Structure 1
Amino acid sequence: MVTTTTVGWIGLGAMGGPMAQCVAQAGFPVSAYDVSVERARSLAGGGLSAAGSVQEAVTGAKVVVLMVATPDQVESVLFRSDGAAAQLQAGAIVVVMATVGPGPIEGWARRLGDIGVGLVDAPVSGGVARAAKGDLLVMVSGSAEALAVTQPIIDAMASTAPVVGPRPGDGQKVKVVNQLLCGVHIAAAGEALALADSMGLDVESTWQVLKSGAASSFMFGDRGERMVTGAFDDVRSALDIFVKDMGIVTAAAKSVEQPTPLASAAEQLYLTGRRKGLGRKDDSIVFEVLRHP
């Protein structure tokens, strides 16, 4: 159903691009900006227009979606001198879909609230292929008023979008738990297949046998396939993302004095990969990090 709700969109990366297209295809006019102007132009069409700046993207928008990578990028997009916050009218709503941790979200919600702007916390999980199909999991939190406006937009990107709490930050907390599991599962898959290799087994055959058994997981099936085929340059999720995300996980755990020994070990593995210069490779490269420590 066509709607008059206008959407400003910031961030058109591997996931942000197809997510924005799903929103436009659902009938929402989307004005989108990315630091790569050519990337924005290449995605234009079908209700999505390319903006030349953050300010242009958000001017007149009722809802602004941020799908950037880091807390620093969100801070810059919102609050630098030419940022989005100065352009937003009272009653607008910012939807933060990046994984940034609960602390930053809570701070931005207070600052935006001071100018009459709402914030919906809506981190995503699912990967590039599911983003293109509008099949993501989105962990949503915020006020009932803000959710009433933004839920149809979120639903255009998601097959599952549960409201996990009434406060911005609740969604990030659930995503922290999600990323702990994802990060540990990828590390465990790499460790298991590296062990198979060191014992002289055929790694692909071992993966084929185990992926349908009780020891399997989504990450063992998905990342394991990339590990055995060596598809580390087909970057669907960069190792650098898990350096960031596992740092968020361990910081959140420390803030509540919760031991997370497995997450901490996985974090060290991702840091080792970055130090080896592999941060821009697919995160399945942890297999090679463990094979050649």
Structure 2
Amino acid sequence: MSSDFTTSPSHPTDQTADATVPASDAAPVTAPTGGDALNVGWIGLGAMGGPMARVTAQAGHRVTAFDMNPASLEAVAPDVAAAPSARDAAAGADAVVIMVATGPQLMSVLFGETGIADVLTRDTVVMVMATVGPAAIEEAAAKLAPHTARFVDAPVSGGVARAGLGDLLVMVSGADGDVAAARPLLDAMASNAPVVGSKVGDGQRFKVVNQLLCGVHIAAAGEALALADSMGLDIAQVHEVLGAGAAQSFMFGDRGSRMVAGAFDDVRSALDIFVKDMGLVNEAAGLVGQEAPLAGAAQALYQRGHDEGMGRLDDSVVFRLLGGGTRGTRGDGASPSA
């Protein structure tokens, strides 16, 4: 299989960029009963895909996975069996879950030189849980139609910790019968998996809107705290005080705390993910003629961070990109040079 869907711990290609939203009171994952246990082929074991595959196996499904990175396969053993190729993982599976990073990677998995399309049957459920955008998912589903009639669009939100608890939000779209066939897997991975549309692509559309909000909110948090820093304010106090008022948002709370700490090497959601996802947002907006000036500004900011070598740092590094921490005061009230 082409190396263009390699995943690795240092470059979490499938990691959702709106990571670590508050956990729900989800019940522990339980094993399915009898006939609900599925043979699952799994492709992509990055930061999100790995824990998602493991929790699916722990729920009683038989999961066989492929990833280009041997360490990713070792990380989910013994719960998840390793396959030597994507085709081997998919062969004979009731369902195939694909958790890669981009539309081109998805097309390579399905139709590349050693793609899986030819080993699928008319009854195989293909469930794409990555964020690849509406255009890519619709192209993949149309091209795959001669091989399998079942296709589910199911991008995720929630972050790594919740992925390992089976506590994700999954935005599901597809035909009723296809979604019903995938429901045992959704129940293993998600505490909330609403059907948001009957058409493949609607799940991606929901995720694009989600990423617009997340990407703009992170950028706004970075800009606000950088401004506070430049004015000589204690940014830890700014974060605490404003977080108790109308300016609070999840991203200001979550990413803002990382900005205050300045630990941008502790990567929970890489900046490069938003380079990709804000591109998908602006592509989707362009296709329907919708102005998206805030999304465009946020995309330019993330692209600038990538160009300045920050792409693999935590996305909270936008604070530093905007000059935060290089002037004024930090969270302990001391100047940066102190």
Instruction: Output the TM-score relative to the length of structure 1.
Output: 0.97
Could you list the per-position Cα deviations for residues 31-84 of structure 1 after superposition, in whole angstroms to 9, with x for gaps in the alignment? 0111102210221123x1111211111111010001111111111111012111
Which of 42, 51, 54 in structure 2 is aligned with 1:9? 42
Please report how far the alpha carbon of residue 4 of structure 1 lies from its aligned counterpart in structure 2 after TM superposition.
Answer: 3.6
Instruction: Output the TM-score relative to the length of structure 2.
Output: 0.84
Correspondences of 1:17-96 after superposition (within 5 Å): 17-46=50-79, 48-96=80-128
Residue aligned with 2:96, SS: strand
Q: Is the 8 A contact 2:222 2:319 kept in 1?
A: yes
Aligned equivalents of 2:261 and 2:235: distance in 1?
A: 10
Q: Is the 8 A contact 2:50 2:75 kept in 1?
A: no
What is the aligned-residue RMSD (CA, Å)? 1.3
Q: Is the 8 A contact 1:7 1:28 kept in 2?
A: yes
Could you list the per-position Cα deviations for residues 60-116 of structure 1 after superposition, in whole angstroms to 9, with x for gaps in the alignment? 101000111111111111101211111112210111111111111111111111223
Partner of 2:329: none
Q: Is the 8 A contact 1:95 1:122 kept in 2?
A: yes
Correspondences of 1:121-132 after superposition (within 5 Å): 121-132=153-164
Please report how far the alpha carbon of residue 117 of structure 1 lies from its aligned counterpart in structure 2 after TM superposition.
Answer: 3.6
Partner of 1:170: 202
Please report how far the alpha carbon of residue 155 of structure 1 lies from its aligned counterpart in structure 2 after TM superposition.
Answer: 1.9
Residue aligned with 1:156, SS: helix
Partner of 2:315: 283
Please report how far the alpha carbon of residue 216 of structure 1 lies from its aligned counterpart in structure 2 after TM superposition.
Answer: 0.7
Aligned equivalents of 2:184 and 2:66: distance in 1?
A: 21
Please report how far the alpha carbon of residue 191 of structure 1 lies from its aligned counterpart in structure 2 after TM superposition.
Answer: 0.5
Q: Identity over aligned residues, as a percent?
A: 60
Aligned equivalents of 1:58 and 1:231: distance in 2?
A: 39
Q: Larger RCO: Structure 1 or Structure 2 (Cα < 8 Å, ≥ 6 residues apart)? A: 2
Aligned equivalents of 2:259 and 2:65: distance in 1?
A: 34
Please report how far the alpha carbon of residue 188 of structure 1 lies from its aligned counterpart in structure 2 after TM superposition.
Answer: 0.5
Which of 297, 312, 322 in structure 2 is aligned with 1:265? 297
Partner of 1:244: 276
Partner of 2:173: 141
Identify unmatched segments of 5+ residues in structure 1. Answer: none
AA matched with 1:252:
A
Are residue 105 (structure 1) and residue 164 (structure 2) matched?
no
Identify unmatched segments of 5+ residues in structure 2. Answer: 1-31, 327-338
Aligned equivalents of 2:138 and 2:173: distance in 1?
A: 11
Residue aligned with 1:291, SS: coil
Q: Is the 8 A contact 1:8 1:64 kept in 2?
A: yes
After superposition, the Cα gap between the structure-2 partners of 1:4 and 1:125, relative to the gap in structure 1 and judged at 3 Å, is closer
Are residue 194 (structure 1) and residue 226 (structure 2) matched?
yes
Which of 225, 235, 240 in structure 2 is aligned with 1:208? 240
Q: Runs of at least 4 residues of structure 1 off by over 4 A? A: none
Please report how far the alpha carbon of residue 161 of structure 1 lies from its aligned counterpart in structure 2 after TM superposition.
Answer: 0.7
Please report how far the alpha carbon of residue 212 of structure 1 lies from its aligned counterpart in structure 2 after TM superposition.
Answer: 2.2
AA matched with 1:32:
A
Aligned equivalents of 1:164 and 1:4: distance in 2?
A: 25
* Greater fraction helix: 1
